[in-house]
Amino acid sequence: MKQETITTGRTVAAATAAAEQYFNVSADRLQIEILAEPKKGFLGFGEAPAKIRAIYEQTPVDLAVAFIKTLVTNMGIDADITVGDTDAGKRISVNGDGASILIGHHGETLDQLQYLVNLAANKKDGEDDDREYTRISLDVEGYRTKREDTLRSLARRMASRVLRTHRSVTLEPMPAYERRIIHSEIQTIEGVTTHSIGAENTRRVVISEDFYDDEEEEGADEE
């Protein structure tokens, strides 16, 4: 999404600084077009400021951060928002007093917010907008990292039980990204395998020995 403004100043640098303040970004994020050079004038007459047009193109991450800032401000939450990289895209982390309310029961609220954040970030600005989709992961108070550690530990414990008892274990329903963590961890353990059963919100991971009957794997994930 492109935005533009026209600013003036005693110098081009001053006009650029005004544009930086207007968009709250550094000059390297702006496209600057000089509309008029400053004129000194004579005896106070004929003096004219520099005039520039500044164009700011927001990235998907910019749009996502703006969405989150608006949300936490409206909720009265004093939070720090940081952006980092992940293997699949970008991660936006929210930390601060009261921010934990954004997590919800078992991360349900966080999952819903993440969905909305991705919608806001990847909204097309007309038919000519050919930007690639940017996948954004939203984390609050380190919940995602802690949850991932918990899930990997759970996967190892259940794999050990399966190998000890020779009986399959069915886990509680989980969202797709959590099921992928379980699948990934089980792949590192010899002698066990996974598949999923159920549909939509009731989809569960089943951990079993690796000679599990293929005929019973009709519900396997395509994750």
pLDDT tens-digit readout, 130-158? 678 888 999 999 998 899 999 999 999 99
Specify the DSSP class assigned to residue 42: B
Q: Specify the length of the chain in residues.
A: 223
What the block records as the tokens of 106 is 């078992």
pLDDT confidence of residue 151: 95
Mean pLDDT of 199-217: 75
What the block records as the tokens of 179 is 């099921």
Return the bridge partners of 185, or none: none
For residues 125 and 170, give the distance between their C-alpha atoms in angstroms, rounded to a whole number. Answer: 44
What the block records as the tokens of 222 is 């395509």
What tens digit of pLDDT does each residue of 61-94 get? 999 999 999 999 999 999 999 998 877 678 999 9
- Helix ranges restricted to H, 45-200: 60-74, 108-121, 143-165, 176-186
pLDDT confidence of residue 101: 93
pLDDT confidence of residue 204: 94
Beta-carbon contacts of residue 176 (< 8 Å; ≥ 6 apart): 203, 221, 223
pLDDT bracket for residue 189 (50, 70, 90):
very high
